[in-house]
A = this chain, B = another copy of it.
């Protein structure tokens, strides 16, 4: 019966991406491949998988696991994503990705643009 299938598809849900990020990722220095990798990491984190492997990424992307690893390294090196550690219930140390650095970069960009606008307005008033 199709209805069950349809219900299952609807229940999959959607991921929400702030329009501010959609409009400014290129300005932050990300290309489309890098940005999509960040979105896949974001979806995985929200779904409870906070350490997506390059192999898992590769299955959802148009690039190989080796290329995923390369992009991932660049994102870590340039400070768009971070790796942190936590102790899981069985007291093992587990690593997880955090996108906090990305959000911080976005906020900084917005603040700077805001400041620049204000400065220009002020200079125009004084002129």
CA distance A14 to B11 in the complex (A): 12
A1-28 vs B, Cβ < 8 Å mask (1 yes, 0 no): 0111111111111111111101100100
Q: Is the Cβ of A9 less than 8 Å from the Cβ of B20? A: yes
Copies of this chain, tallied across the complex: 4
Q: Within the complex, which residue of B2, B10, B19 is in contact with A2, where a contact is CB–CB below 8 Å?
A: B2
How far does the Cβ of A111 sit from chain B's closest Cβ, in whole Å?
6
| A52 contacts the other chain (CB 8 A) | no
Provide the bound-state CA to CA distance between A14 and B16, in Å.
Answer: 6
Complex interface: chain B residues within 8 A of A14 (CB): 14, 16-19
**Which of B11, B12, B19 has a CB less than 8 Å from the CB of A13?**
B19
Binary contact readout A105-120 vs B (1 if CB under 8 angstroms, 0 otherwise): 0111011001000000
CA distance A16 to B14 in the complex (A): 6
Question: Nearest Cβ distance between residue A76 and chain B, in whole angstroms?
Answer: 18
A-B contact pairs, 26 of them (CB 8 A): A2-B2, A8-B100, A8-B103, A11-B103, A12-B20, A13-B16, A13-B19, A13-B46, A14-B14, A14-B19, A15-B17, A15-B19, A15-B22, A17-B17, A19-B43, A22-B39, A23-B60, A31-B33, A31-B62, A32-B32, A32-B35, A32-B36, A32-B61, A35-B36, A46-B47, A48-B48
